[in-house]
Structure 1
Amino acid sequence: MAESWATFGVDLHLEPAGPGLRRGLTDALRDAVRTGRLAPGTRLPSSRALAADLGIARNTVADAYADLVAEGWLTARQGSGTRVAERRVVPSAGTVRRPRERGRPEYDLRPGWPDLASFPRTEWLRAARRALAAAPNDALGYGDPHGRPELRTALAGYLSRVRGVRADPERILVCGGISHGLRILGAVLRARGVSTVAVESYGLRAHWDILEGAGLHTASLPYDELGTDPRALVHGWGGVPPTPHRGAGGVHMRLRRAGATGHRSPADDERPTAAPPAEHPGAVLLTPAHQFPMGVPLHRDRRAALVDWARRAGGLVLEDDYDGEFRYDRQPVGALQGLDPDRVVYLGTASKSLAPGLRLAWLVLPPALVEEATAEKGGVDTCGALDQLTLAEFLTSGAYDRHVRAARLRYRRRRDALVAALAERAPQVSATGIAAGLHAVLRLPPGTEQSVVQAAHWQDLAVHGLTRYRRPDALVEPLDALVVGYGRPPDHGWSGALDALCATLP
């Protein structure tokens, strides 16, 4: 009997109560349907299976089902079993109604997303089947916290070939997204005695919050047309006494910059200034290949200066290479990590090239950090083994390269359409940072950013202003602009999104 009970149909939790089994069972089923615990269309166990489950006679269950069918709570059809009838569910008095979700905007041009409608479902499914067929049994266990060796090996080859990263599989740590990787690195840096991390004047608040949540202070570096300026790291903060202060976004620094000769000039007094951090930064987080969101690649002299600083000061460079595969009008900028793998931590992700829902990213670590970062991640792999195996197969089969090339062409066409629409319908607005990536910065007339964002809302268009990505202590003059992501809309919605955007521009 126990074996039969364990293998019968569907499970159903009921607690009959009352003066008789039939009435108690009928009342329990009726109450489960009335309150919505059993949704309309739910298939119930057969009378034989439920009787075995509850340890009662089959006729008792059959009679209870018949009573509820007669009352209209259940339906019974030959061949389809007994199901909950389609009817309006009346919630119980204590049920808390969920607030109605706000409708999604008709057009979404917020940056940071790829075109999810273009995810290569067919090729991914084929790769998943091949990967699962070839996977050893232990791949379905708890796993190595470093990540699946198949994926780490595939990543080492791909990153070396495409991004110029110098790595071997033993130095790659698979993690659940860039945010997960930053949490790991923040904890490692704090444990090593680092108190301050330098960051760019523009970037993602979520990343700054992660570092500050690890107990680290963040200090802004200047920014100009050549990208982030690392001279404060290289030459120090000019000997100004440390006067950091803490605001809503963490410790804010204002840097007083000297001219190229090192002497003050009247022009210097008009530039943004900052106080030095209480302690010199032990690490710097930046996006050198395609600064987010401004879109400028870091100048080669500054790339060399950053690596030189890391070597001299014993610091670490955290390189976020979030969209390195997508470039259109220039040769790809190689990873900064290739200049010094012992001082640069490379962070890569599948979120822009494939989909953020995969939650797959990777750290290419200096040898000295591998065990510390792995221990911080935890004793078992927290990233899905099957997705790791599928991505490994996707990379080694060439499907990933084919997908990226197709996506690059798709996004370039969208970017070209954006530039053409601006030239025709909003010539006073210029697009910058468009040689690579999945977004553009649209520079607006001074003082118009907030009104344009509000007008976009009225057009049922989601778009972000540049102010959203500017640090409160940013070492750069304020600029009115929009950050327009052209990756997110599906192909059929792109022309409508462009129309809505152009209708909001001054």
Structure 2
Amino acid sequence: MAESWVNSAEGLGSDLHLELAAAGSGSRRAVLMRALREAIRGGRLAPGTRLPPYRSLAADLGLARNTVADAYAELVAEGWLTARQGSGTRVALRAAPATPAPRRRTPVRDSRPAYDLVQGRPDPSAFPRGAWLASARRALTAAPPDAFGPGDPRGRAELREALAEYLARVRGVRADAGRIVLCSGAAHALRLLARVVGGTWAVEAYGLPFHRALLADEGVRTVALEVDDDGAEVGELAGLAGTGTVLLTPAHQFPTGGPLRPERRAAVVDWARATGGLVLEDDYDGEFRYDRQPVGAVQGLDPDHVVLIGSVSKSLSPTLRIGWMVLPERLLGAVVAAKGEREQWSSATEQLTLADFVASGAYDRHVRRMRQRHRRRRDQLVAVLAERAPHVRVTGIAAGLHAVLELPPGTERAVVKAAAWQGLAVEGLSDYRHPDSRRGSGAGGAGGGRDGLVVGYSTPAEHAYAGALDALCRALPPA
């Protein structure tokens, strides 16, 4: 009985592109042999590459089977190919194309710093590869067929349900899966909300310049809300006419540190209720706290006036590109419409993997491990500074992944430059100040107009951390 190629994976073979038209004239066998020799000589067919079975290649090229079989046989005889029972026909190892000797090049000096204390970059070596792989296997095994089709713009239901349970349990969030929309991170969430809400937003006087630029690109004007040791001064909202949205980091003000005081949390919710305004809560590192009780999300006080924004960028890895918004019902349809008809931002398989990672408890275990690791690093930073630079005050250390080192007025730029000379990347506090902040450089006062460094102690690999702290201390000004 003839073998059916339809049911034979081996009979289908591999795809192989050959330029027969460019191989000159002559018999079909001769043309095919020239095309194969040229592909091998030019390096497109590397030594050891397995060629398709002659029947498959004949069908693909519209040639007779005997023509291809004879061409293979002659090229084996010439030494271009090898053929062994059970391993098919392959490009011979000695058929490697000649390569010219490498040209001498002037050595290029690596411009990357030797040490990195820039905030917001968790150590990639801490990613839980084994646990993530186990979740990926379970998730893919259990994935329904629709997981591999066009995605729901809200994101996979499995992850939204897992997040609803997790956020309620850990962050005090009040929402079901139907009010969660997945996105690729905080920046993506802000873009979508800017398109839906628009207008003028109040933002903290210290924050990410990237976020302010992103909002400006979407036509949103931002006004500065001053910051002190108790967080954003939300009482100023009443005097900001035409401002209907405020963007805050209540769990851990970024980058100055410290949670928003309970009275101010209540006050911003009261403002939103009275004016119909909207509070955007960037919960960027809410899981990481060390010397204080857990602080719940502001969203839990009023789910109809607060949007919670979160992601796994700080807890797992920014490369996963998975974030979420917990939305008031009134914004849900518009945000989904702004996102688009299909999920095109984050992989469905990674969403399913994260859903299993959260639901199985692996995420909780990972966060606890990282909390202990970050606390050790923070304690090491504080201890080294107490020994070698006791005149430098360290603030914002009760939670998060970075600390602020206060510097004498007028010294910040010089210290950042000195750090660069030590091979250390670190950022100045003034880099995060809103250009319209009333408390400009040198104005003094808690939280405003200060000189300082923003030190990301989660960033370096374990073996590099001590060296980074040593470089930091060498760059600091003397007492």
Bin the TM-score by the shorter chain: 0.7 to 0.9
Equivalent position amino acid for 1:202 in 2: Y
2:360, 2:419 → 1: CA distance?
43
2:226, 2:123 → 1: CA distance?
33
Partner residue of 2:61? 54
> Could you tell me whether the CA contact under 8 Å between 2:428 and 2:452 is conserved in 1?
yes
Per the alignment, in what secondary structure is the counterpart of residue 481 of structure 1? strand
> Could you tell me whether the CA contact under 8 Å between 1:223 and 1:475 is conserved in 2?
no
The alignment's C-alpha RMSD in Å is: 2.9
Q: Deviations over 1:370-426 (max 9, x none)?
A: 111111111122332222222122112111111111110001000101111111122
Partner residue of 1:442? 405
2:35, 2:152 → 1: CA distance?
47
> Does 1:294 find its partner at 2:256?
yes
> Does 1:495 find its partner at 2:466?
yes
Partner residue of 2:133? 125
Q: How does 1:341-356 map to 2 (within 5 A)?
A: 341-356=303-318
Partner residue of 1:19? 25
> Could you tell me whether the CA contact under 8 Å between 1:25 and 1:64 is conserved in 2?
no
2:473, 2:308 → 1: CA distance?
38
2:254, 2:426 → 1: CA distance?
16
> Could you tell me whether the CA contact under 8 Å between 2:159 and 2:355 is conserved in 1?
yes
2:96, 2:410 → 1: CA distance?
56
CA 1:62 to 1:303, structure 2 compared with 1: closer, same or farther past 3 Å?
Answer: farther
1:113, 1:62 → 2: CA distance?
57
Q: Deviations over 1:15-37 (max 9, x none)?
A: 1312345675566556656766x
Return the offset for 1:115: 2.1
> Does 1:396 find its partner at 2:359?
yes
TM-score (structure 2 length as normaliser): 0.85
Q: How does 1:221-370 map to 2 (within 5 A)?
A: 221-234=225-238, 236-237=239-240, 280-370=242-332
Per the alignment, in what secondary structure is the counterpart of residue 243 of structure 2? coil
CA 1:341 to 1:87, structure 2 compared with 1: closer, same or farther past 3 Å?
Answer: same
Equivalent position amino acid for 1:19 in 2: S
2:251, 2:314 → 1: CA distance?
15
Partner residue of 2:423? 460
Return the offset for 1:66: 6.6
> Could you tell me whether the CA contact under 8 Å between 2:255 and 2:404 is conserved in 1?
yes
> Does 1:158 find its partner at 2:166?
yes
Q: Deviations over 1:284-318 (max 9, x none)?
A: 11111111111121122221221111111111011
Q: Deviations over 1:37-58 (max 9, x none)?
A: x385672524625454334422
1:148, 1:320 → 2: CA distance?
22
2:76, 2:429 → 1: CA distance?
62
1:392, 1:505 → 2: CA distance?
44
> Could you tell me whether the CA contact under 8 Å between 1:51 and 1:61 is conserved in 2?
no
Q: Deviations over 1:453-480 (max 9, x none)?
A: 2232233322222222222212334222
CA 1:216 to 1:44, structure 2 compared with 1: closer, same or farther past 3 Å?
Answer: same
Per the alignment, in what secondary structure is the counterpart of residue 281 of structure 2? strand
Return the offset for 1:177: 1.2
2:137, 2:158 → 1: CA distance?
15
Per the alignment, in what secondary structure is the counterpart of residue 282 of structure 1? strand
Given candidates 209, 219, 232, the residue that maps to 2:213 is 209
> Could you tell me whether the CA contact under 8 Å between 2:206 and 2:434 is conserved in 1?
yes
CA 1:10 to 1:226, structure 2 compared with 1: closer, same or farther past 3 Å?
Answer: same
> Could you tell me whether the CA contact under 8 Å between 2:258 and 2:399 is conserved in 1?
no
> Does 1:405 find its partner at 2:368?
yes
CA 1:351 to 1:34, structure 2 compared with 1: closer, same or farther past 3 Å?
Answer: farther
CA 1:424 to 1:282, structure 2 compared with 1: closer, same or farther past 3 Å?
Answer: same
Gaps of 5+ in 2: 442-449
Equivalent position amino acid for 1:14 in 2: L
2:16, 2:336 → 1: CA distance?
42
